[in-house]
Structure 1
Amino acid sequence: MTKYIYSTLALVFLLSCAEKEEVAKNWQLTKAIPITGVNAIGMAVTSEGIWLSDGDHNRLVLIDDEGKTIRTIDSLDRPMHIGNEGDVLLVPQYGNDEVSIFDQGQKKALVLTDSLDAPAGVSSYHQEKAIADFYNNRILYSKDGKEFISFGKEGKAPGDFYYPTDVQITENEIWVADAYNNRVQVFDKKGTFLKMIGDDQNMNAATGIFVGATELFVTDFENSRVLVFDHEGALKQILSEGVEKPIEVIQYQGQLLVSNYRNSQLLVFDWKEIPEGKETGEEAHDHDHDHE
């Protein structure tokens, strides 16, 4: 009987270890959705579906999961990296130096006491708002959505910008795609520089960013790839399959969406087990990759 008990305990222990053993996973291309006639620059997800900013055609386009156009908002002036507060869209218009708010079909301008020069990206987090002010080489940030502070100037030193294109507010930080310095910079909510990510990866135009629960995704436009980092800046994966001039990346319903600017496609990546024999040097980073 004693031997039987020990054998049973040993079997339970082994099964428990097997269950705890982590399976190597990474982001893998699942499909490419055609978005015919749309050169998507920015993306935002509302209850209606996926909104794309089509700057080349001066409009916003609402699509379904198959890429079909549901409706459009026209007569804009080069909308860029859009944001949203639930179903309310925030639209930076690069051409007329304005950030517009679309709420239930009604349009109004975000009121600022300062003038913008080609706003390229906007982010919202609860009441907070941030704007990437492209030609002014700075970020505007507001805790209440009304009173804004400004930080940054043209340059290459930490805290400086060379044409910021995208911005995202998280719980404690502000993340900026410092496009032509080829890096991402992170600041606290007073505008104090905290850290730099990707400056050692030979990026060529870091145009779009998305900060997930554990990962930072960066579109490396001219190199036709998306870089995946942890929040401390360690490179985890490089996505290049199907990627051609990527300009924006977001997470949506557990998937990763990447907009290919030139060939009018939306790429869908899923977090999946790495097939045996398919692991590359780039994918080897993912063994210890925490993912939520």
Structure 2
Amino acid sequence: MKIKLWILICAFLFSCSSEKEWTFSEKIELPEDVRPLGLTLKGDQFWISDPDNNRILQINNHGQVLDSLTNLNRPMHIASNGEIVYIPNFTSDTIATFENEELRSIQIGDSLDAPASIAMLDKTMAIADFYNHRVLLIEDDKIIKIGSEGRTDGLLYYPTDVALTKDRVVVADAYNNRVQVFDRNGQFIKVIGWQENIKVATGVEVYEKEIFVTDFYGNRVLTYNFEGVLLDTFTNHFNKPTDVLIFNEEMYVANYGENTVTIFSK
């Protein structure tokens, strides 16, 4: 009896300590003309950017469009902070906000050349400034400029996405085919992903202790820890993935190559 009890206790402890794994759940099909690029949450509402049609769309879990904001200028990797959606307009070199059904342009104190992504954390904004090969880190009136054009560590080559933590800036260094990590003062820390032969790193997301990276032409999503160790690779369910959003133990991936969003669940 004692042996059986011990076996049950061991089995319970093992099941509690083991990590849940991501498994493919489904693909959400969007309207046929949509080409999703960026994903964000405004409260509990899902919004996607559709740059080919110069709009952002609110969708439900079935891919139905509930609301839209049109007449934008190729919106890319959007972000949110509470009830505000932040929109980088790639072709007009501007940043807009969408709040209370009102669209406004905001000034950031520097010139942009094709903003490709915005990340928000508390009062801090990060912008991937595509053709300037840099990231701007903005808090109040202070601007820190991270990177310049180049191929070596600390330099960027067409950054497309950026994510923030309390002490890190994580950049999708797209055409260097890697991710770079900087501190909040803009100092280079680490390169991630170069050994996995990423074919254009288009999107990056930080969730808990993991970094998620979309590999555009590799049609996969890779996850790393902050030491740069590869943890997992997801394949077979993507078509030119561009962005990752984690919510309620589900991973949403925008497929720019078609009108779908792929969902993995834990």
TM-score (norm 1): 0.87
Q: In the alignment, which residue of structure 2 is the partner of 1:135?
A: 131
TM-superposed deviation, 1:236: 1.5
Q: What is the distance in 2 between the residues matched to 1:115 and 1:24? A: 45
Counterpart among 11, 18, 27 of residue 11 in structure 2: 18
Alignment of 1:89-100 (within 5 A): 89-100=85-96
Is 1:159–1:185's contact at 8 Å kept on the other side of the alignment? yes
Question: What residue in structure 2 maps to residue 70 of structure 1?
Answer: 66
Larger radius of gyration: 1
For 2:168, the aligned partner's letter is E
The CA deviation at 1:80 is 0.2
1:139-197, Cα deviation, whole Å (9 max, x unpaired): 100233x4312121000111100000000111111100000001111111100001111
Q: For residues 28 and 243 of structure 1, what CA distance do their matches in structure 2 show?
A: 14
Q: Distance in 1 between matches of 2:205 and 2:44?
A: 21
- Indicate the SS of the match to 2:7: helix
Match of 2:255 in 1: 260
Partner of 1:104: 100
Contact 1:29–1:241 (Cα < 8 Å) also in 2:
no
Percent identity at matched positions?
37
Q: How does 1:165-184 map to 2 (within 5 A)?
A: 165-184=160-179
Deviations 1:187-238 (A, max 9, x none): 1110000111101110010000110002111000011111111222111211
Deviation at 1:15, TM superposition (A): 2.3
User: How big is the shift at 1:109?
Assistant: 1.9
Output the CA distance in 2 between the equivalents of 1:139 and 1:47: 26
Q: 42, 56, 59: which one pairs with 1:60?
A: 56
Q: Aligned with 1:20: secondary structure? A: helix
* Range moving further from structure 2, 42-51 or 187-196: 42-51
Structure 1 residue 33 and structure 2 residue 32: aligned?
A: no
Unpaired stretches in structure 1, ≥5 consecutive residues: 1-6, 272-292
1:202 aligns with 2:192: no
Query: Partners in 2 of 1:24 and 1:253 — Cα distance?
Result: 16
What is aligned with 1:87? 83
CA contact (8 A) 1:49 1:65 kept: no
Query: Within 1, Cα distance between the matches of 2:263 and 2:209?
Result: 19
Secondary structure, in 3 states, of the residue corresponding to 1:14? helix
In 1, Cα distance between equivalents of 2:209 and 2:148: 29
Query: Counterpart in 1 of 2:119?
Result: 123
Correspondent of 2:182 among 178, 181, 187: 187
| Paired letter, 1:54 | D
Q: Distance in 1 between matches of 2:246 and 2:78?
A: 14
Structure 2 contact 219–236 (Cα < 8 Å) conserved: no
Which SS does the other structure have where 1:66 is aligned? coil
One-letter amino acid of the counterpart of residue 40, structure 1: P
Q: CA deviation at 1:89?
A: 0.4
d(CA) in 2 for partners of 1:79, 1:17: 52
Q: Which residue does 1:289 correspond to in 2? A: none
User: How far 1:48 sits from its partner (Å)?
Assistant: 5.1
| Inter-partner Cα distance in structure 1 for 2:78 and 2:90 | 11
Residue 11 of structure 1 and its aligned partner are, at CA, apart by: 4.2
Instruction: For 1:211-290, list aligned pairs within 5 A.
Output: 211-271=206-266
Segments ≥4 residues shifted beyond 6 Å: none
